[in-house]
Structure formats: C-alpha cells, structure tokens
C-alpha cells in the first residue's frame, strides 16, 4: 500500500521534558513512515541543546521568539509543505502517542476524505 508523505510537527517552548517524552513515544509508532519536525518557539531553557543531543537526526527550526501556537505551527507547516508533505499532523509536545496513531489517523481520514483541516 502506498502511503502519503506524512509530517508530524511538534511545537516546543521551554518544554524540554515533555518534548523528549513525546519523542520517545513517537519512536514506537507503527507504519506508515513519517517525518518529524520540531519548531522551537524561542525557548529560553536548554530545550534545543538537549533535544539535539538526544535526537540529532530530527530537524529543529528555531523561530528565535515566541510566535504563539498558531504562528509557530504555521512556520512548521510551511517548511513541511516545502519538503513535499501531503499530510501534516500537528501534535502538542506534551502528548504521549499510541503506537497505532498513524494507522488510525489515516483510516479516519480515508473514511471521510472531504472536510479535513
């Protein structure tokens, strides 16, 4: 089965521990494959340093300031779309996901293909 190109975007702002816990849960996701992006919204703690140390393969966009939830995610979505994203999942950084999240996400989206936001 051919899957769409999926990006998961996490917005971080001084949330190192939550973000790292979320990333641990994302490592357990079952197929389909996905790409991950972290947008750091001007954190003043050592979030970016610690996330890069533990997950050097994950791209991190640093906004340099707190743009707020909507604009921070917009930065991430623009980047993901420029990389060919077909589906984007915005995920709060304090989320711990079920390993079958993407399977359920795609099944629900395909069941009702119109009206996705």
Name the pTM for this structure: 0.91
For the chain, domain boundaries:
13-111
Give residue for tokens 């623009």: 78
Q: What is the DSSP string of 38-78?
A: EEE---SSSHHHHHHHH-TTS-EEE-SS--HHHHHHHHHHH
CATH superfamily, region 13-111: Spore Coat Polysaccharide Biosynthesis Protein SpsA; Chain A (3.90.550.10)
Per-residue pLDDT tens, the chain, 117 aa: give them. 688 899 999 999 999 999 999 999 999 999 889 999 999 999 999 999 999 999 999 999 999 999 999 999 999 999 999 999 999 999 999 999 999 999 998 888 778 766 555
């Amino acid at each position: 089965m051919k899957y769409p190109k999926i990006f998961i975007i996490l917005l971080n702002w001084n949330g190192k521990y939550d973000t790292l816990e979320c990333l641990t849960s994302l490592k357990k996701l079952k197929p389909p494959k996905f790409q991950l992006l972290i947008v750091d919204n001007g954190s003043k703690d050592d979030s970016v340093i610690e996330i890069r140390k533990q997950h050097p393969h994950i791209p991190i966009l640093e906004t340099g300031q707190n743009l707020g939830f909507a604009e921070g995610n917009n930065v991430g979505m623009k980047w993901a779309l420029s990389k060919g994203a077909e589906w984007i999942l915005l995920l709060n950084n304090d989320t711990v996901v079920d390993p079958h999240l993407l399977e359920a996400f795609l099944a629900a989206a395909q069941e009702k293909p119109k009206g996705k936001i």
